[in-house]
Amino acid sequence: MQRIIAGYLNWHAFGTDLFIVNSIVNLTTITMYSQNQISLFRTVRLLVLSVLFASSAIFAQQLKAQESPGYSDEELENFVQAVLEVIPLHQESQALMIQEIEEEDLTIETFNMILESQHLGEDPDVTEEKMDAFKNALLAVQALELEYNEKITEEIVDAGLSPARYEQIMADYQQDPELQMKVNQIMEEMDEGE
């Protein structure tokens, strides 16, 4: 369990997994790094996680600007519990988003290329059929994003944190080695308790 959580938390810190789903101006971007990584995603316990769907670039910047408050052991235990509940939801949502895109006969690369073109205000160089498939896939991905955002928020609240507090702890964890040690210690203690 500790390795799974540490991998999840480090992924948030360095963004090195298969792809990242971000909500930016109500558009969903799935960034593909390689076909080999997609194969790994489908075959092993590769944790394909994302930043909490509800967070935005502005909110993250505000959190970084704030000074990091201290956290009680109870809050950190709740944070670890929330992470344990959020990981499977992220995995499930990522798999479903890929499925929706592929069901429209699009590759992740094509989906991202069209999305990037639109985000830059450019006209993507694709057929009308591909553009229609993209629109259908985007609607499906956005619907999944909304659905899973609600589920993730519920799990975070059930673990005893507000989504804002969860995000704040996550942002501080990524920046504060002392906090990382505390969270890792709590994970070890939870591992021993199982």
Cα 32 to Cα 123: distance, rounded to the nearest angstrom: 21
Q: Concatenated DSSP letters for 6-71?
A: HHHHHHHHH--SS--EEEETTEEEE----HHHHHHHHHS------S-TT--HHHHHHHHHSPPPP-
CA 87 to chain centre: 9
Higher pLDDT, residue 26 or 153:
153
Instruction: Say if CB 28 and CB 138 are below 8 A apart.
Output: yes
- The confidence score (pLDDT) of residue 15 equals 35
Taking CA atoms, 23 is separated from 8, 29, 50, 93, 102, in Å, by: 19, 7, 10, 14, 20
Enclosing domain of residue 143: 2-193
Name the band, by pLDDT with cuts 50, 70 and 90, for residue 190: confident
How many domains does one find in the chain?
A: 1
Spatial CA neighbour of 82 closest among 32, 16, 155, 187: 155
Higher pLDDT, residue 18 or 102:
102
Higher pLDDT, residue 87 or 17:
87
Strands 21-24 and 27-30, bridge-based pairing = antiparallel
Max mean pLDDT range (15-29, 39-53, 62-76, 102-116): 102-116
Taking CA atoms, 12 is separated from 32, 40, 86, 116, 175, in Å, by: 16, 19, 13, 22, 11
H-helix or E-strand spanning residue 162: none
Q: Please state, for a pLDDT cut of 90, what percent of the chain lies above it.
A: 58
3-state secondary structure of 137: helix
User: What value does the mean pLDDT of the chain take?
Assistant: 74
- The confidence score (pLDDT) of residue 191 equals 79
